[in-house]
Copies of this chain bind each other. A is one copy, B any other.
């Protein structure tokens, strides 16, 4: 199963909302040694903000025993 299928395989959210949405996810194993991670995340967000005229940006971080993830959902202007 591709990441693509995992991501969109059983999508149930509003079709109308999905039309204007851009999703970015960054994931890495917790134990990874990336001292620049926070700075890199910040700079990626700045690139997104610069290009998109976003109505709304949701930033969600998540982690479990093994992984840290950053999810960014951008609701674009119509």
**Nearest-CB residue, chain B, relative to A3:** B71
Stoichiometry, copies per complex: 2
Cβ contact within 8 Å between A47 and B44: yes
B-chain residues with CB within 8 Å of residue A21 when the two chains form the complex: 28-29, 32
**Nearest-CB residue, chain B, relative to A43:** B47
Q: Mark A12-45, 1 if CB is under 8 A from B, else 0.
A: 0000001111111111110110101001100110
- Known A34-B76, A43-B47; judge A19-B8 contact (CB<8 A): no
How far apart are the CA atoms of A69 and B11 in the complex, in Å?
Answer: 15
Cβ contact within 8 Å between A2 and B62: yes
Q: Which residues of A contact B (CB under 8 A)?
A: 1-4, 6-10, 18-29, 31-32, 34, 36, 39-40, 43-44, 47-48, 51-52, 62, 64, 66-67, 69, 71, 76
